[in-house]
Amino acid sequence: MNAVECPREHEVVAVVLSGRWPEGCDLALRDHAAACAVCGDVVAIAPALRQDQRLSDVQVPAAGQVWWRSAIRARADAARQAAQPMVWLQAVAGAGAVGAALAGVGMMWPRLQGMFHFLPFTAASLQEPMLLLTGIGIVAAPIAYYLALPRE
């Protein structure tokens, strides 16, 4: 036997939880508990915890109510999950639309540049910023779309 555990601890706990401590249990076990540090601690706290467990006012909801609430929640979760692929499809479509719009602007650029010849830059100087903007748009559009959607 060491200070951390005692082989008779379970026996003492069983006697306490059955309500036979101290009068209803045999003298040898009481003597042991009086001499053993582990079992001494156990009998100092276990009867009060057992009483607390036994006498506490517990009002749990009916089983049917818990089942019903769980079923409603499962349905709500299932509906949310079923809607998720559609959200992603819409996000991909949104990204495609942004990409197509930017590609359209790129194809039209020589003509547009002619219309805006008074501007202080050329098509060649805008090629890199346009590519960069296209890339950012393709990445950011689905993310922005996803963040903008309501969670519930």
Partner 1 sequence: MAEWTLSDVERLSALHDADRTFQMTEDAFRAFYELTARPVWLYLARITGDRRLADDLLQEAYYRFLRTTTTFESDDHRRNYLFRIATNLAHDNRRRPRMQSVPVDDAERSLPAATENADQVARRLDVTRAMSQLKPRDRSLLWLAYAQGASHEEIAERLGLKRSSLKTLLFRARRRLITALGSTSPKERRS
Stretch touching partner 1 by CB under 8 A, among 4-12, 112-120, 123-131, 144-152? 4-12
Site string for partner 1, 80-119 (x = CB under 8 A): -xxx-xx---------------------------------
152 binds partner 1 (CB under 8 A): no
Copy the structure tokens of residue 99.
């990409």
Q: Three-state DSSP class for 135?
A: helix
For residue 126, the tally of other CB atoms under 10 A from its CB is: 15
Residue from the set 73, 92, 100, 136 that interacts with partner 1 by CB under 8 A: 73
Give yes or no for residue 64 binding partner 1 (CB under 8 A). yes
CB–CB of 112/98 below 8 Å? no
List the x/- string, 9-48, binding to partner 1 by CB under 8 A: -x--xx-xx--------------------x--xx-xxxxx
Instruction: Mention every residue, 6+ apart, whose C-beta is less than 8 A from residue 15.
Output: 21, 24, 25, 29
How far is 4 from 101, CA to CA, in rounded Å?
A: 74
Report whether 28 contacts 38 (CB < 8 A): no
The region of 58-66, 100-108, 126-134, 142-150 touching partner 1 under the rule CB under 8 A is: 58-66
- End-to-end, the C-alpha distance of the chain in Å comes to 59
Instruction: List residues binding partner 1 (CB under 8 A).
Output: 3-5, 10, 13-14, 16-17, 38, 41-42, 44-58, 60-61, 63-64, 66-67, 69-71, 73-75, 77-79, 81-83, 85-86
